Chains A and B, each alone.
Chain A
Amino acid sequence: MISSETFHVVTTELVVGAFSVAGLSFTLCVLIHLGILKQPSWAPMFDHVAHFTLAFGLAATPFAILSGLSSAPGDGLNSPILVNKMFLSMTGFGFALGCLMTRWRLGDKVWSTSKSITLHAASGLAAVGSMLLTASAGGTFARGESLLDIFHLPYEQVLLFPMLVSVTVLLLGASMLVLGWMRMNASLTVH
Chain B
Amino acid sequence: MKSRIHTVLVLSLLLLCSAFGAAEPGGNGDSIQDMQCGGACHGDASINETSNAILSLSSPATIYVGIPTTLTLTAANLETSSTRLIGLFLLTDMTGHSDTPQDKGWEILSDVNGGSMNYIEQTLNPGQNETNISWVIRTSTLGSTTFYAAIHHGGGDAAPFFGTSTIGFEVSVEPVPEDLPRLAADFTPPTLRELDTPTELNIKTQFTDSMQFEWKSEDGLISNSLVNSTGNNSWTTTIPAALQPTTVQWRVILEGEGPEQTTPWFTLAAEESSWEVAENAVYLQAFALLFMTAGIVIILQTRFISKPATSKYDETPVVLEDLALTQPSPTPQGLTSDDPSPPLLPATGLPIGWTEAQWNAYGHDYLAGKYGGGQP
- Residues of A whose CB lies within 8 Å of any CB of B are 1-5, 7, 11, 35, 38, 40-41, 43, 59, 62-63, 66-67, 69-70, 74, 76-80, 83, 86-87, 90-91, 93-95, 97-99, 101-102, 106, 108-116, 119-120, 123, 126, 158, 160-163, 166-167, 169-170, 172-177, 179-181, 183-184, 186-187, 191
Partner of B292, one of A94, A106, A115, A184: A94
- Residues of B whose CB lies within 8 Å of any CB of A are 11, 14-15, 18-19, 21-26, 41, 158, 274-302, 304-307, 309-312, 314, 337-338, 340, 353-354, 358, 361-362, 365, 370-372
**Which residue of chain A lies nearest to B372 when distances are taken between CB atoms in the complex?**
A38
Cβ of A181: which chain B residues have Cβ within 8 Å of it? 298
Question: How many Å from the CB of B375 to the closest CB on chain A?
Answer: 14
Secondary structure class of chain A's binding surface, majority of residues: helix
Cβ of A166: which chain B residues have Cβ within 8 Å of it? 281, 284-285, 288
Cβ of A63: which chain B residues have Cβ within 8 Å of it? 14-15, 18
Complex Cα gap A10–B337 (Å): 43
Cβ of B298: which chain A residues have Cβ within 8 Å of it? 98, 101-102, 176-177, 180-181, 183-184
| Sample of 10 further A-B pairs with CB below 8 A, known A116-B304, A169-B288 | A4-B22, A7-B22, A40-B371, A70-B19, A102-B298, A102-B301, A170-B291, A173-B295, A173-B296, A176-B295
Could you tell me if B312 and A160 are in contact, using CB atoms closer than 8 angstroms?
no
Known contacts A106-B302, A183-B302, A187-B307; A35 and B294 CB within 8 A of each other: no
Could you tell me if A119 and B301 are in contact, using CB atoms closer than 8 angstroms?
yes
Interchain Cβ contacts within 8 Å, total number: 218
Question: How many Å from the CB of B357 to the closest CB on chain A?
Answer: 8
Could you tell me if A62 and B15 are in contact, using CB atoms closer than 8 angstroms?
yes
Complex Cα gap A109–B301 (Å): 10
Question: How many Å from the CB of A29 to the closest CB on chain B?
Answer: 12
Known contacts A2-B22, A79-B275, A87-B289; A187 and B306 CB within 8 A of each other: yes
